[in-house]
Amino acid sequence: MSHKTVKQWALFVFSAVLISSAAIAQTKPNVVILATGGTIAGAGADVTNSATYQAAKVPVDKLIAGIPQLGSVANVRGEQVFQIASESFTNANLLTLGKRVAALARQDDVDGIVITHGTDTTEETAYFLNLVVHTDKPIVVVASMRPGTAMSADGMLNLYSAVTVAGSKDARGRGVMVVMNDEIDSGRDVTKAVNNKVEAFRSPWGPLGFVVEGKNYWFRRLDKRHTVNSEFDIEKINALPLVEIAYAGGNVDDVAYRAFAKAGAKAIIHAGPGNGSVSGALVPVLQELRGKGIQIIRSSHVNAGGFVLRNAEQPDDKYDWIVAHDLNPQKARILATVALTATSDTKELQRIFMEY
């Protein structure tokens, strides 16, 4: 074989490899990872530090580089949107993130989106995106309970699972999801129920499904309105009104409620015991605030799930109050901030709380 022939053959083989590699890349989904910080990007001083560490230290490119297996399931690229601990998330952060997610979802070369996040407010961000981003493409919020430097760190597997879910065709149309500890939960339902275990997130109505070794197993769908079926659109929202949560228990007084009203709150979530119960001493206070135009929304701080029934415990129709249905106080705050950008009519707001 001549030198020229060998060279031609080598060029042919090299071209075939390039074409084959390109074909494989085209068959894999394109997933964008938006990083916001949190424990999943945290680092501790020692491998034994699973609860004592600094959050939001590792940039997204290092998170991706640390899991080379991601390349076998998706074409992955990352963007650093924020680098903060999630307890510091503000309404402005939500708007910035929501608009970026929506912009990516409109791109033909994006099949799914993953958001890395701190666990403290994962449920709030996931629910916000579930309300305002119009797409049927999978949007997955992922977090971890232990920093990557700890023994038995959970972030690596959580992120791998999140990418596989975000790139799955069978995950389309299910709303915004939270993937952690092998579970696929609805961003609408899920809540952080434990603060020091990897099985920290729970949904009172159960997970949507599970992901095991990159394969999804589905068991239910979210029946509430979300994403493509939502009447709210992040592209039309540039500011969110102030909504605050007042926690009520035994011996509660009116200090927090009046302070929130004075600060300009458009609505107050009453996080009451049981069925969103309101103490006798608070009833006239909440009536007074409602008379000043502030929306009063009865929620429950019961952790295991349940309903706040309208006109049970309190005559909501008479007082022109709203009930949060099965939403916990923090999710009720998110829905109220979004809903109040569209209406201040109590009946309309109650409809929204029942539908979303």
pLDDT in tens, the chain (356 residues): 555 554 555 444 444 343 344 444 569 999 999 999 999 999 888 888 877 888 888 999 999 999 999 999 999 999 999 999 999 999 999 999 999 999 999 999 999 999 999 999 999 999 999 999 999 999 999 999 999 898 889 999 999 999 999 999 999 999 999 999 999 999 999 999 999 999 999 999 999 999 999 999 999 999 999 999 999 999 999 999 999 999 999 999 999 999 999 999 999 999 999 999 999 999 999 999 999 999 999 999 997 777 899 999 899 999 999 999 999 999 999 999 999 999 999 999 999 999 99
Q: How far is CA 167 from CA 58, 78, 122, 208, 274, in A?
A: 24, 14, 20, 17, 41
**Residues labelled as active-site residues:** 39
The CATH-assigned architecture of domain 241-355 is 3-Layer(aba) Sandwich (3.40)
CATH number for the domain running over 27-229: 3.40.50.1170
Q: Which two tokens mark 30?
A: 């394109």
Residues 6+ apart with CB under 8 A from 27: none
So where are the chain's domains? 27-229, 241-355
Instruction: Assign 337 to helix, strand or coil.
Output: helix
Could you check whether 27-229 and 241-355 share the same CATH topology?
Answer: yes
Cα separation, 80 vs 60, in Å, equals 6
